[in-house]
Amino acid sequence: MSSRLRVPVSERDHVRGPANAAMTLVEYGDYECPACRQAFRVLRDVEDRFRGELRFVYRHFPLTEVHPLAMIAAEAAEAAASQGRFWAMHDTLFDNAPELEPEQLIAYAGELDLDIDAFAADLGAQRYRQVIREHFMGGVRSGVNGTPCLFINDARYDGPLDATLLARALEDSLGHRYAQP
């Protein structure tokens, strides 16, 4: 029996794509995780393929015991979100991982034209740690035990992280197939 997503997608989530999309893909991820970095490219391919038809949601699941910089990277994404730039920072973190030291995060914020003082203050105060913990605990309740962990329309996807197979699973979640490109 596969796990189900226990925390519904809400306005508190980081969402890319239409709110009324027929397909929802939720990822629990860790910015320092090499498998998440590989999945990032696969997920972008899938998002491009289903543009306008897919709602993609990212939730933090930092595995801090094996990835010591995962928490501060998640905090950097949240600090960027407070300035309306979550997805820009999200993509930057995966594009530059494993370079996730605090001074590098500040540099990325500068490249994204964020207010550096506010960003640095947010990191220093660990202002978004509770939000990240909420994501993590929601993942635990949903059966997440590693990253990346994906859910398609609330059902856990345990298949290979391959764009073609993931696209097929998304199509199958609707009970029909899309025309192949």
Residue 65 belongs to domain with CATH number: 3.40.30.10
- Identify the burial level of 107 via C-beta atoms within 10 angstroms of its C-beta, where 0-12 means exposed, 13-18 middle and 19 or more buried: middle
pLDDT for 176 equals 52
Confidence of residue 2 (pLDDT cuts 50, 70, 90): low
For residue 8, tell me if it sits in a domain.
no
CA atoms of 143 and 137, how far apart (whole Å): 10
For residue 141, tell me if it sits in a domain.
yes
For residue 78, tell me if it sits in a domain.
yes
For residue 167, tell me if it sits in a domain.
yes
Asked if pLDDT for residue 131 goes beyond 80, the answer is: yes
CA atoms of 148 and 89, how far apart (whole Å): 18
For residue 138, tell me if it sits in a domain.
yes
What is the mean pLDDT of the segment spanning 145-170?
95
Contacts for 67 with CB less than 8 Å, ≥ 6 apart: 30, 31, 32, 33
CA atoms of 134 and 141, how far apart (whole Å): 11
Q: What is the CA radius of gyration of the chain?
A: 16
For residue 181, tell me if it sits in a domain.
no
Q: How many CB atoms lie within 10 A of CB 52?
A: 7
What is the mean pLDDT of the segment spanning 38-48?
97
pLDDT for 134 equals 97
- The total number of structural domains that make up the chain: 1
The owner of tokens 């764009």 is: 163
pLDDT for 157 equals 96
Q: What is the pLDDT of residues 83-129, one digit of tens each?
A: 999 999 999 999 999 999 999 999 999 999 999 999 999 999 999 99
For residue 21, tell me if it sits in a domain.
yes
Q: Name the residue with higher pLDDT: 177 or 55.
A: 55
Domain containing residue 95: 14-173
For residue 4, tell me if it sits in a domain.
no
